[in-house]
Chains A and B, each alone.
Chain A
Amino acid sequence: MFDIDYDDEGKIVCTGRLDAAQCEKGQAFMDEITESSTLDFVQLDYISSAGLGILLKTQKRLAESGAALRIINVNNHIYDVFHYSGFHAIFDIKAK
């Protein structure tokens, strides 16, 4: 199960497991983002390289207009994956 939606404060809340079977849903949502945004991963349990690809693609697109994604409340397992992938250098990431 994976879900992605805005909360009342305008943050984008991701829930569940973002695996390769869910990346179309994630990509479709992210393609609509046109300004700097905060992704709240407080309820995201898991991400694989398919999800990392969506984040990277979106960050690259937003950077062209000077915008960026910020990712907060990242669990320690996903944080490790971000670190392995070098994402700490290209995203503003805050652990849980």
Chain B
Amino acid sequence: MKRAFARSNDSLTAIYEFAEEILAAGNVTDAARFAIHLALEELFVNMVKYNPDAKGDIDIEVTVEDKVTVTLTEYGVPEFDVTVPKEVDIDATLEERTPGGLGVYLIQNLTDSLDYEYGDGRSRVIFTKESGI
């Protein structure tokens, strides 16, 4: 199932409800649902944050088969590959830690696969998660 969402963090509740309905119908476990909602939010928020001049909606597609596949697509944006490994020093002391940078790190750690496609201003992120974990 696919739906377009306005490019704003105010869309997050609607995105959660959209994805949750599909995941619940597909009997996806609580743990997998939590990870999927988190990765989906982080990816959407990144698109909103880093492409403030983009005008169009962001398309989100969620399918449940033997695994859950989530695709986010936006148009008229520069390339930003979220699969480039992001390291966060999680052993750093409180003084050394800085807020921020955790989003992409969490996406990469919570998804089973994470792919990026770019061409003609179309930016697409696809991630999968086993539905039974």
Question: How many of chain B's residues have a CB under 8 angstroms from any CB in A?
Answer: 32
With beta carbons under 8 angstroms apart, the residue of A20, A46, A52 that contacts B102 is A52
Q: Residue among A21, A52, A56, A57 with the most chain B CB within 10 A?
A: A21
A19–B92 CB distance below 8 A? no
**Interface check A34, CB cutoff 8 A:** no
With beta carbons under 8 angstroms apart, the residue of A21, A50, A90 that contacts B10 is A21
* Chain B residues within an 8 Å CB radius of A57: 99
Known pairs A46-B37, A59-B94 / 7 extra A-B pairs, C-beta < 8 Å: A49-B42, A52-B99, A60-B97, A76-B31, A81-B106, A90-B93, A90-B97
**Interface check B88, CB cutoff 8 A:** yes
Task: With A20-B12, A53-B102, A77-B34 as known contacts, state yes or no: A48 contacts B90, CB within 8 Å.
Answer: no
B99–A20 CB distance below 8 A? no
- 8 Å CB interface, A27-58 against B: 46, 48-50, 52-54, 56-57
B94–A60 CB distance below 8 A? yes
Task: With A17-B16, A85-B102 as known contacts, state yes or no: A90 contacts B94, CB within 8 Å.
Answer: yes
**Interface check B22, CB cutoff 8 A:** no
* Chain A residues within an 8 Å CB radius of B30: 77
**Interface check B91, CB cutoff 8 A:** yes
> In the docked arrangement, what's the CA distance between A53 and B42, Å?
13
B9–A85 CB distance below 8 A? no
With beta carbons under 8 angstroms apart, the residue of B34, B45, B93 that contacts A50 is B45
**Interface check B100, CB cutoff 8 A:** yes
> In the docked arrangement, what's the CA distance between A63 and B41, Å?
30
A33 to chain B, nearest CB (A): 16
